[in-house]
Structures are given as C-alpha cells and as structure tokens.
Amino acid sequence: MGRLFSHTSREELPAEQVSKALDAFRNPSSWPDWNSVAKNMLATKAESIDEGDHLAIFQMIKGSLIETRWLVKTIREGDGFCEIELFGEGQYRNERSIGKGLKNVQICLTFLSQEGGGIEVHSSCEASFLMAMFAKQINAFMKKQAEQFLEDLSKIE
C-alpha cells in the first residue's frame, strides 16, 4: 500500500441544470461536446452509461494521442440523486501502458437535482511511498481532474 491522495470539488446549481448535466454525462456520444479534455470517446454503449461499462477517453498531450480507460464501477440512483463511480484502468500510448505510478485512480460524481443541490466530484488515487515524493504534483493532478469535470459539467445549460 501507499499514500492516498484525494480532492473534492462542489458547486451548487439549479436542479434543472444538474439534471441536464447528468443526462449529458450518461450519454457517451455527447462527451466531446461538453468535455474539454475528451476529443474522442469510445464506450461499451454509444447512448448510455451503465454499471460495468468501459469508457476510453482520447486526448492529445504534448503531441501524443493518450487513451485513458475507465470502468463504471457503480451507479447509485434515487429520487433526484445519482452517484457514479469511475475506476481508472490506466493510460496508454500506442497500446503501451504509461503512468504506472498511480494506483486505484477513482472519480466519484454526485448529482443532486434538488433545491440546494448541485454537483460534487471526488477524485482519489494511491501512490507508492517512492512516488509520494511527488506529493505536490499528485495533489495538483487530483485537483485538476476533479475541477475539470466539475467546470465542464456546470457549464451545461
């Protein structure tokens, strides 16, 4: 085991806007429209995200095409509430695994479409004790990842 890093970002939004953000998130074919990072995306199903589905997000980083793979670990739904947990399956460049220093990367998105509700994004990972030397960079990455999802989802009208 290593050291745990995490960051949580929240934004209060009107219930209607939260519902629209959830609909956009649950529709993989719309991701390139709202997600500033996902230039292209592949999913198990093109029009819905369900528990057990796999997602692959493609982005250009420093001139290289990077594929980030996610598993939709759990989806919990209730009246005006939805929580979606994504588990990172790794990053790849040319089908070769990269970024092996972070383990158990997870993102938990909570959509609360009630009065006083909004969107919360919790990002977490584990790093080995050796990688913990880079704690400042890992914390910055966790914060950027959570805030990017929150910012993109909160812009959906």
Residue 35, amino acid: N
Residue range(s) defining the domain that contains residue 148? 3-154
Whether pLDDT at 41 is above 90: no
The CA distance from 47 to 26, in Å, is: 8
Residue 43, amino acid: A
The predicted model gives 97-115 an average pLDDT of: 90
Whether pLDDT at 85 is above 90: yes
The CA distance from 88 to 37, in Å, is: 16
The CA distance from 104 to 128, in Å, is: 11
The predicted model gives 70-97 an average pLDDT of: 93
DSSP, collapsed to helix, strand or coil, labels residue 113 as: coil
The predicted model gives 24-42 an average pLDDT of: 89
pLDDT given at position 1: 60
DSSP bridge pairs for 108: 85, 122
Confidence class for position 64, pLDDT limits 50, 70, 90: confident
* Token pair for 51: 């528990």
CATH number assigned to the domain comprising residue 29: 3.30.530.20
CA distances from 122 to 1, 29, 65 (A): 20, 23, 26
Domain count, the chain: 1
The 3-state secondary structure of 22-90 reads HHHHCCHHHHHHHCCCCCEEEECCCCCCCCCCEEEEEEEECCEEEEEEEEEEEEEEECCEEEEEEEEEE
Whether pLDDT at 99 is above 90: no
Whether pLDDT at 132 is above 90: no
Average pLDDT over all residues of the chain: 91
CA distances from 148 to 3, 37, 38, 66 (A): 23, 8, 11, 17
Q: What is the pTM of this model?
A: 0.90
The CA distance from 51 to 76, in Å, is: 9
